[in-house]
Amino acid sequence: MQPMPPDTTVYMMAGYVVMLGGILLYLVSLWVRYRQVQADMALLEEMDSEARKMHA
């Protein structure tokens, strides 16, 4: 009779949790950076419109 292979289900589930956690952190990072870029763009557009008013 052959020996049973070791049960590695816990390690597989832990691997999925780590990978999904990493993906989630990456998506949160992208969202935060996107919001910051949007705020920067709004500020730059406001500064541009004020500069155009001053030179007009």
Phi, psi torsion values for 12, nearest 5 degrees:
-65, -45
Q: What is the pLDDT along the chain (56 residues), one digit of tens a residue?
A: 889 999 999 999 999 999 999 999 999 999 999 999 999 999 999 999 999 999 87
SS (H, E, C) 5-55: CCCCHHHHHHHHHHHHHHHHHHHHHHHHHHHHHHHHHHHHHHHHHHHHHHH
Give the Cα-Cα-Cα angle 25, 29, 34 (nearest 5 degrees): 150
pTM summary value: 0.74
| Residue 20 token pair | 């999904």
